[in-house]
Structure 1
Amino acid sequence: MRKTYDKEFKLQAVRMVKEDGKRIAEVARELDLAEQTLHNWIKKYNKGKETAFVGNGNVQPEKKVEKDLQKQIRDLEEENAILKKAMGIFAKDQK
């Protein structure tokens, strides 16, 4: 089973390397992590700083905007389909 780690744990591990000057291998051993996992966390941190680890159920701001826009498109498409059906019904009644 895959382990999951919360945002604070990841930030603490990254800070141990970046701020305390410890080696990745040393921190990985201390925290019982794979070195590659810690290396990936550091890469993510370097790209996004504090927003790199969004936590459970949260998304990065740019992903949220994209998700919101996709929902809006789906809603508008559904509204269009309903309006087309209504137009068809009213057109039949006019005849």
Structure 2
Amino acid sequence: MAKQRRSFSAEFKLEAASLVLDQNYSFPEASRSLNIGETALRRWVKQLEDERNGCTPSSKALTPEQQKIQELEARINRLEREKAILKKATALLMSEEFERMR
């Protein structure tokens, strides 16, 4: 039977990565104590290092600052899509109005 894939919250990932970066745990030591894979822990530590250096991650952010940036970027994208729709609708309505005036 296939193993169920576990998922972890951003807070858990942040705490796990902080063990390695801030509390000087080794990767094997931290992964054993948290019962997680070492590869996943290495990925989270790399992501946290990148976020602390100001890089916005492509996956779900770990730090609150990067989470806020991702939320704001998503909002900007949504508003830009809405603006484009409104522009097209306005152009369509204007062309229909112009045809009626002829």
TM-score where L is the length of structure 1 = 0.71
Provide the residue aligned with 1:68 in structure 2.
75
Gaps of 5+ in 2: none
User: C-alpha separation between the residues in 1 aligned to 2:33 and 2:10?
Assistant: 18
Provide the residue aligned with 2:36 in structure 1.
33
* Inter-CA distance 74–47: structure 2 relative to 1 (3 Å threshold): same
Provide the residue aligned with 2:94 in structure 1.
87
Gaps of 5+ in 1: none
Q: Which runs of 4+ in 1 moved over 6 A?
A: none
Letter of the aligned partner of 2:62 in structure 1?
F
Kept after mapping to 1: 8 A contact 2:48/2:63: no
Task: Report how far residue 33 of structure 1 moved.
Answer: 0.9
Q: What do the CA deviations read for 1:34-85 (whole angstroms, capped 9, x no partner)?
A: 1111111111111224x95158xxx734433432332222112211221122
Letter of the aligned partner of 1:86 in structure 2?
L
| Seq. identity, % | 22
User: C-alpha separation between the residues in 2 aligned to 1:20 and 1:35?
Assistant: 17
Aligned pair count?
Answer: 91
Q: CA RMSD in A?
A: 2.6
TM-score where L is the length of structure 2 = 0.68
Kept after mapping to 1: 8 A contact 2:31/2:41: yes
Provide the residue aligned with 1:53 in structure 2.
62
User: C-alpha separation between the residues in 2 aligned to 1:60 and 1:42?
Assistant: 16
Letter of the aligned partner of 1:53 in structure 2?
L
Kept after mapping to 1: 8 A contact 2:20/2:27: yes
